[in-house]
Structure 1
């Protein structure tokens, strides 16, 4: 058990960082200090008490990232309620299901998403509140919550007649073994389960982050990944709020253009991203330079290429604000060509590994210790790892973990909980890989996506896709099995096609040449027999992994 109590971490942080900026909505440029956040939390605690919300009651939360989202999350857990964050791009039926399955009694929702929901389908919810201004959008028959909300200012004055000060901050006395968070996964398998995370699981992530020296009190971080996802929530919100750092919430789609402008203005000290975003910045900023004839010639000159690499590194670093210690990449596999190039130019990035069921962190290396193709060492003193293989250093097997960060189980789903743990208590990650002598993890693919060839060879489609994505005019791809043969589904890079003047009618011939070039890079049993052009981008999860199950029968 982690020694430090998770809820008390924030009681102490709000007291110590009272005057510092805590949260800023980037678009509106509204900033809340830690004092402002603490006062809003106190108001909600009064409301929860007046509404007779009990310890362990569930409070659902859905909407775009914003300061109010963070306030509701923090108010719920510090009261002793269980927060149920829901990803804003879930369809309405899934949202209804999660609210009902979690038995949520309150719902905080953006106005736009509320317009897509039907109150009669969430009949057990006592009240619905707007994330814009916390007004009551709906209350169940017989409730007087709208009236209580109108009286909240006077009740606040009654409770704190001398004003609310840092000395008034007192949060729930709750042991770390209690569930504080129900996080519904949105994996690539299409089945959503409610992950029960305790104070101990979350404290394991936050206290470990404190040992890494990558973010400090008063520093800045830009959040552009959805906070309802465990990776972003832990390191774009819970960690900075525990440290006294200042989080800027982008609150809009993170296109390279928007992100680079925000990086320039905010100059964050730590950057968390998913591979797709870093890959898009690489394609936009770096790839066009590398493809110029003069650049290709210059990079063949030994002493000159080092200077060129240093210049590219500086240009990329400056474009991302110039003050960050490290870029942490997680959430999905990264394109190997991009990863290798960034490593070659000494760009300070590292690739970590985690899953919602571990709140999320499993392994990590500082960028100075990062080894290409790995995703870091298992968290020392926090987690353990083993490979379900007779030779874990050389022969691929399922990655299994146990330790402080591992969830309590899936909510109201004993069968799924039993199936995800081994008989001796290790969590089965569903990922395949190896380890080295330092317990550094190397992932090869997902056990559910691995294809067994006709001659018994294991084929990892993600590895083939990484090579295919590097070929001309391929934006993204999927390798699928059709009648015992491998086929590549490709969504072309139409922007690049149009910019180079190539006709769309020429794409089949280009892709056939890509197929031949790709097969030269593969073992015979991995060879693909055809490439099929796909008309739209593949549908993705919030962490930008393709929802593979949607395309199994395409």
Structure 2
């Protein structure tokens, strides 16, 4: 259906969260909507999701909450997280999804800065917020069972065990009769009402609160529902990312629910010991992930197999035989993942170029997506076939994308976007809003990219990470890191400027290095310095003059990362500055 504003509606009649639930419940009432892997009794059908989310809405209305009040959601992905979210937003309350990985200090700042009036939290994270609850004990809800823990009990909690055992009231058991339905209809949200206030954790270190409306989020999911992949009702989606991140929320949850999918939450970190049995049992059609997962699979399973066989090495030199070998490996990967994967979405961070080249030649059904929290998130995306390595894909319909300050020689410029999924703005930060938008309303993403002749977007780096060379050259550290990461034994790297030169911090797989060199681990650490200097010489052969490395250092600890597994660059720039000052 096409609206008067030109937007094309596909699976909803209004761009609100309440209509997402209502529409899907009417189309697929008996289908399972949400469940947690290996957790008996966790299933919610679409009709149950509708009924219980309405009950949650009623409970909050009867407790005196009004449109615009902000409610924090803190906990790992599970059916009750989504149920609570739909209940809150169904009457115009604003959800504040908090990434579970945030520290206690960060979470307390969010609760205070966001003016949060109630908290839905699980036992795993409740101790992080006890200082806040002791000051504001009025409304605390336990995520495990959606029980409201009343005063004075809530204000006297000392630890997670007390929290788990505290008595309370089930907020999902309210009967929804004719009178209740009338009350709900009088408080339904509008498209322009804020649905989520999301505090980001970026690579540059400054946390920002992004205001996303119902229309921002639901439109982005609805417009993408049949463009990249035909999702059929009953398809299973294995959810392994935090739903508090907008990438998983919009594409992995809202889009999947619009299409009648069964979403299965892993319920634990995606380590091989938990992920492999779940893949075998669930046999998902859809998996949304970040690059780190598939890069680990490639480097720990695929690459060693290829390098250990000299005969394979010979065949890999020729395109026809290499593609044949890669397709056999690709089919084995699909079998390992349950045998039914149709869409393996990769987003949240750049995918290593070598890994992508392998996936493309293996005919693995991966699809890249690009976007930001500020754009709800999808700006461009690809399909799970006919890949062009290094290119994301077509720009989402109805979005305007242009390149600011485009370099005439390379065609690279800062990506700016305008359209229905672009945020209202940053919460309580007019100065940042003025900086983030152009005078004619385009949001400046801070990402560098170019658009090819087919209208497809490719990403080249970040404006804030771009390094200006001594001769005025634009140096993109991500491209140098891609070369480093493809060297033997390298697990990850970070390139930073130092005194007008470039320095690489490189983490090696020391155990594999020690085994290959027939050394002890301690001996391997000593030998690593010599290896890194040789590696620097090899890497520099592949780089232009102004992008070459002057120094390399062994990074012994894993790099600190954001929840979408991007390295927190600002931490290492700061450490380098502090060591220089010392």
Superposition TM-score tier, normalisation by shorter sequence: over 0.9
Structure 1 equivalent of residue 543 of structure 2: 522
Structure 1 equivalent of residue 116 of structure 2: 104
Inter-CA distance 328–122: structure 2 relative to 1 (3 Å threshold): farther
Query: How high is the TM-score relative to the length of structure 2?
Result: 0.88
Inter-CA distance 43–175: structure 2 relative to 1 (3 Å threshold): closer
**Greater displacement, 233-242 / 427-436:** 233-242
* DSSP 3-state at the match of 1:38: helix
Does 1:63 pair with 2:75?
A: yes
Distance 2:208 2:361 in 1: 40
Aligned residues: 547
Structure 1 equivalent of residue 410 of structure 2: 394
Distance 1:260 1:366 in 2: 25
Distance 1:517 1:178 in 2: 55
Q: Please, which of 334, 346, 352 is the counterpart of residue 329 of structure 1?
A: 346
Q: 5+ unaligned residues in a row in structure 2: which ranges?
A: 156-162, 577-582
Query: How high is the TM-score relative to the length of structure 1?
Result: 0.92
Inter-CA distance 464–142: structure 2 relative to 1 (3 Å threshold): closer
Structure 2 equivalent of residue 359 of structure 1: 376
Contact 1:215–1:269 (CA under 8 A) maintained in structure 2: no
Inter-CA distance 318–10: structure 2 relative to 1 (3 Å threshold): same
* DSSP 3-state at the match of 1:118: helix
Structure 2 equivalent of residue 26 of structure 1: 37
Structure 1 equivalent of residue 559 of structure 2: 538
Q: Please, which of 181, 184, 205 is the counterpart of residue 199 of structure 2?
A: 184
Structure 2 equivalent of residue 156 of structure 1: 174
The C-alpha deviation readout for 1:501-530, integer Å capped at 9, x for no partner, is: 442221111111111100000011111111
5 Å matches for 1:340-351? 340-351=357-368
5 Å matches for 1:222-233? 222-233=238-249
5 Å matches for 1:18-417? 18-29=29-40, 30-120=42-132, 123-124=135-136, 126-137=138-149, 139=151, 150=169, 156-157=174-175, 159-160=176-177, 172-212=187-227, 213-291=229-307, 292-300=309-317, 304-380=321-397, 382-390=398-406, 394-417=410-433
Structure 2 equivalent of residue 548 of structure 1: 569
Does 1:486 pair with 2:497?
A: no
Contact 2:326–2:358 (CA under 8 A) maintained in structure 1: no
The C-alpha deviation readout for 1:458-489, integer Å capped at 9, x for no partner, is: 10001101110111221111001111111111
Distance 2:567 2:273 in 1: 23
The C-alpha deviation readout for 1:92-129, integer Å capped at 9, x for no partner, is: 11111111211111100111211122334773563111
Contact 2:146–2:171 (CA under 8 A) maintained in structure 1: no
Inter-CA distance 328–120: structure 2 relative to 1 (3 Å threshold): closer
Contact 2:120–2:142 (CA under 8 A) maintained in structure 1: yes
How far did residue 252 of structure 1 move? 1.4
Inter-CA distance 137–89: structure 2 relative to 1 (3 Å threshold): farther
Inter-CA distance 448–122: structure 2 relative to 1 (3 Å threshold): farther
How far did residue 140 of structure 1 move? 7.3
**Greater displacement, 4-13 / 247-256:** 4-13
Inter-CA distance 151–49: structure 2 relative to 1 (3 Å threshold): same
Distance 2:81 2:264 in 1: 13
Structure 1 equivalent of residue 22 of structure 2: 11
Distance 1:375 1:65 in 2: 27
Q: 5+ unaligned residues in a row in structure 1: which ranges?
A: none
* DSSP 3-state at the match of 1:103: coil
5 Å matches for 1:401-480? 401-480=417-496
Contact 1:274–1:332 (CA under 8 A) maintained in structure 2: yes
Contact 1:14–1:34 (CA under 8 A) maintained in structure 2: yes
Structure 1 equivalent of residue 159 of structure 2: none
**Greater displacement, 221-230 / 257-266:** 257-266
Inter-CA distance 175–121: structure 2 relative to 1 (3 Å threshold): closer
